[in-house]
């Protein structure tokens, strides 16, 4: 059986990430990224200048580049903090709980947040006042060599480079896949079919 390692802290050891602004499009547990600098320091890896996560990615979403400096993320679910139905037991549920641990970020259309080098604007929110469509406007071009873009690849359970779409273009990133209880048990306990 193939063993998959989940590490939401290890954003990779890319030498070109040193002193760059690392932007993770879909960190399954953005809270875990708080430990990434310590992890990199411990393993003597180059440290980025900044590290940001845009959305948790517990559901599928579209990433559209509307101009040179702006990405708009639209959740396929009611809001960007949603988690798809991924089976009776799944790590995505734990990540969602962790993401909302500090409180639900209630927002209304038009709310803006200046984060220094990045302005986040809520374009749409759901009935629970959770954002469903959000614009991320950076102070510099998304193509700037100052940025190192990553996405969480659920197949490999690791962070991989993210290719920024061209202006006016979009890409869809998938949320976690549905896992049956039997498959979860096989993956977790190394059980193979036909064995008790």
Distance of alpha carbon 160 from alpha carbon 64, whole angstroms: 19
Q: 133-152: per-residue pLDDT in tens? A: 999 999 999 999 999 999 98
Q: What is the pLDDT of residues 100-115, one digit of tens each?
A: 665 566 788 999 999 9
Percent of the chain at pLDDT > 90 equals 37
What pLDDT, on the 0 to 100 scale, is given for residue 8? 56
Closest CA to 6 of 84, 80, 95: 95
DSSP SS3 for 41: helix
Q: Report whether pLDDT(124) > 90.
A: yes
Confidence band of 92 (pLDDT split at 50, 70, 90): low
Q: Which two tokens stand for residue 117?
A: 């080098």
Strands 50-55 and 21-26, sheet pairing? parallel
Residue 168 in this model has a pLDDT that exceeds 90: yes
Residue 87: which pLDDT band, with cuts at 50, 70 and 90?
A: low
- For residue 2, the model assigns a pLDDT of 30
pLDDT at residue 48, as a whole number: 86
- What is the value of pTM for the model shown? 0.78
- Give me the pLDDT at residue 39, please: 79
């Amino acid at each position: 059986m193939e063993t998959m390692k989940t590490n939401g802290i290890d954003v990779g050891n890319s030498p070109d990430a040193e002193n760059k602004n690392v932007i993770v499009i879909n960190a399954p547990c953005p809270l875990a990224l708080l430990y990434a600098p310590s992890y990199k320091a411990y393993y003597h890896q180059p440290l980025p200048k900044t590290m940001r996560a845009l959305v948790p990615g517990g559901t599928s979403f579209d990433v559209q580049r509307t101009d040179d400096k702006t990405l708009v993320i639209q959740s396929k679910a009611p809001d960007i903090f949603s988690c798809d139905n991924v089976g009776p037991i799944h790590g995505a549920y734990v990540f969602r709980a962790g993401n909302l641990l500090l409180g639900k970020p209630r927002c209304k259309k038009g709310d803006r947040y200046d984060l220094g080098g990045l302005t986040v604007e809520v374009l749409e929110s759901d009935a629970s006042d959770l954002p469903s469509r959000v614009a991320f406007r950076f102070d510099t071009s998304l193509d700037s060599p100052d940025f190192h873009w990553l996405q969480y690849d659920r197949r490999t359970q690791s962070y991989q480079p993210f290719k920024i779409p061209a202006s006016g273009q979009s890409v869809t990133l998938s949320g976690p896949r549905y896992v049956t209880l039997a498959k979860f048990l096989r993956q977790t306990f190394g059980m193979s079919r036909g064995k008790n």
